[in-house]
C-alpha cells in the first residue's frame, strides 16, 4: 500500500475561528472526501451527494488529475464530480484512508479549523501505546488522541454535539466489526453483566478494501469461509475501550478481555456479530428485553428485533438490528447484531456523526431503506 500523498491548497490551511454549528447556521456545508475512490470513499460520496445540507467541493485520490468519479466508481457516473490530488478550501473533511496515513494529514487540517471525520483507525484509540501494539506504528500526534471523539452516536452523542461548538474537531468513525459488537454488548456492559465474552464476527469481502489481493480473488472466496486474525484483530481494542467506558459509567469495573474471531464469508457486504456472554450473575429473558428496549428505544438507527437478524435485512442502509436471547441450559446470553459494513459500519455512520456535530437532525440524508433482494 503506497502512502497517500495529498496536496493541500494554501487557502485550505488558512486558520479560521468558525465552529461547525456556525457553519451550519449559514450553510451549505462544504465537504471534501480524501480517499474517494475506495469502497468506503465511494460510499461517502453516495451518501453525501444526497445530503440536503452539504455541497461536495472536492474529491481527493492518489495520483488523480481531474478524473471523473465515474471512471473509478462507475455507479457514481451521474454525479458531476472529479477526483484530484489536491484538497480545496472546505469546512469539513472526510478521510477514508488505510491506517497510518490519516495521522499525517489530520493535525494540519484540524489546526486550520476544519472539522475532520476520519474513517480509519488513526484517532479511535485514546492510549498512544495501543498503536504500536495493534497497528504497528508510533502515532505521530499523540496529543490529539485525547480530544478526538469516538464517533458512535449511540454512545457519544453528547460529546459530538458539544464538539460542534469548537474549532477543528476530530471525529474518529468506529470500525465496522467494533460497531456491531459494541452495539450488541453495550446494554450488558452498562448493567454490569459482561463476564466472559466471545465475539464471532462474519463479514463480506468489501471489508478488506479495494486493493487487489490473491486471497480475495473469486476463486479463493467463493464457496469458502475462513477465520483470520486469530492472534488478535485490531478492532478488539475499540471494543474493549468503549465497553470499558460504558461499564464505568454504569458504576462497574472494566470488563474481562474479549475473545474476538472474525470470519470472511462469500458475500460482498454486511456484518453479523454473534456475541456469547457468560454473565456474572443469573438473568432472565425479561430483564434482558427491558435492558435492550431501554437502551435503544429512542435510537433512530438501531432496532431491537424479535427474530435473529440477517445481513440482508440492513443492506445498503444506516440501520443496525440487534437480537438478545438468554440460554438457561448453558448459562449464556447470545446477542446478535447485523449491519452493513460499508454503511452503518463506515460511511453512513460517519455522516450520522457529522450531522450531530453540525447540529443537524441526525437522520438528515440517511433515510434510505435497506435494499432487497
* Residues catalogued as catalytic: 176
CB 172 within 8 A of CB 148: yes
Tell me how far the alpha carbon of residue 70 is from its chain's centroid.
Answer: 25
Could you tell me if 197 and 256 are in contact, meaning their C-beta atoms sit under 8 angstroms apart? yes
C-alpha cell at 270: 454486511
Reference 141, options 92, 95, 100, 98; nearest CA is 100
Q: How far apart are CA 340 and CA 270, in angstroms?
A: 4
Grid cell digits, residue 205: 469481502
State how far the Cα of 90 lies from the Cα of 94, in Å rounded to an integer: 11
Distance CA 25, CA 212 (A): 43
> 364, 358, 338, 360: which is closest to 117 by C-alpha?
358
How many C-beta atoms surround the C-beta of residue 58 within 10 A?
22
Distance from C-alpha of 68 to C-alpha of 203, rounded to nearest angstrom: 30
Residue 178 near residue 207 (C-beta atoms within 8 A):
no
Angle between helices 176-190 and 285-296 (to 10 degrees): 120
For residues 258 and 230, what is the distance between their CA atoms, to the nearest angstrom?
Answer: 12
What separation in angstroms does the CA of 373 have from each of 10, 132, 313, 315, 340? 47, 42, 9, 9, 14
Return the CA Rg of the chain.
20
| Cell reading at 134 | 495493534
Q: How far apart are CA 265 and CA 262, in angstroms?
A: 10
Cβ(364)–Cβ(353) under 8 Å? no
Amino acid at each position: 500500500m503506497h502512502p497517500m500523498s495529498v496536496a493541500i491548497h494554501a487557502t485550505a490551511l488558512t486558520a479560521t475561528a468558525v465552529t461547525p454549528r456556525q457553519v451550519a447556521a449559514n450553510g451549505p456545508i462544504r465537504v471534501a472526501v480524501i480517499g474517494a475512490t475506495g469502497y468506503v470513499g465511494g460510499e461517502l460520496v453516495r451518501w453525501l451527494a444526497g445530503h440536503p445540507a452539504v455541497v461536495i467541493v472536492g474529491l481527493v485520490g492518489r495520483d488523480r488529475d481531474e478524473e471523473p468519479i465515474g471512471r473509478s466508481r462507475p455507479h457514481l457516473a451521474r454525479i458531476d464530480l472529479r477526483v484530484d490530488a489536491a484538497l480545496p478550501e472546505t469546512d469539513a473533511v472526510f478521510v477514508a484512508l488505510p491506517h497510518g496515513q490519516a495521522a499525517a494529514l489530520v493535525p494540519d487540517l484540524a489546526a486550520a479549523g476544519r472539522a475532520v471525520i476520519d474513517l480509519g483507525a488513526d484517532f479511535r484509540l485514546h492510549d498512544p501505546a495501543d498503536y504500536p501494539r495493534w497497528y504497528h506504528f508510533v502515532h505521530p500526534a499523540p496529543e490529539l488522541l485525547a480530544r478526538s471523539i469516538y464517533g458512535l452516536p449511540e454512545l457519544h452523542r453528547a460529546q459530538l454535539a458539544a464538539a460542534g461548538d469548537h474549532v477543528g474537531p476530530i471525529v474518529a468513525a468506529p470500525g465496522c466489526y467494533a460497531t456491531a459488537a459494541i452495539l450488541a454488548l453495550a446494554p450488558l456492559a452498562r448493567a454490569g453483566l459482561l463476564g466472559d465474552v466471545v465475539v464471532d464476527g462474519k463479514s463480506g469481502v468489501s471489508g478488506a478494501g479495494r486493493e487487489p489481493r490473491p486471497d480475495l480473488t473469486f476463486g479463493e472466496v467463493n464457496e469458502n469461509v475462513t477465520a483470520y486474525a486469530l492472534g488478535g484483530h485490531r478492532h478488539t481494542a475499540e471494543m474493549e475501550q468503549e465497553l470499558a467506558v460504558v461499564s464505568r459509567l454504569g458504576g462497574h469495573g472494566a470488563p474481562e478481555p474479549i475473545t474476538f474471531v472474525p470470519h470472511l464469508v462469500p458475500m460482498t457486504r454486511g456484518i453479523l456479530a454473534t456475541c456469547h456472554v457468560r454473565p456474572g450473575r443469573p438473568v432472565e429473558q425479561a430483564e434482558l428485553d427491558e435492558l435492550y428496549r431501554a437502551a435503544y428505544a429512542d435510537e433512530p438507527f438501531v432496532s431491537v428485533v424479535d427474530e435473529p437478524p440477517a445481513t440482508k435485512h440492513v443492506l445498503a442502509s444506516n440501520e443496525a438490528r440487534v437480537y438478545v436471547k438468554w440460554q438457561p441450559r448453558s448459562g449464556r446470553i447470545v446477542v446478535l447484531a447485523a449491519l452493513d459494513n460499508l454503511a452503518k459500519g463506515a460511511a453512513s455512520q460517519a455522516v450520522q456523526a457529522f450531522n450531530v456535530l453540525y447540529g443537524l437532525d441526525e437522520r438528515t440524508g440517511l433515510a434510505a431503506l435497506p435494499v432487497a433482494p
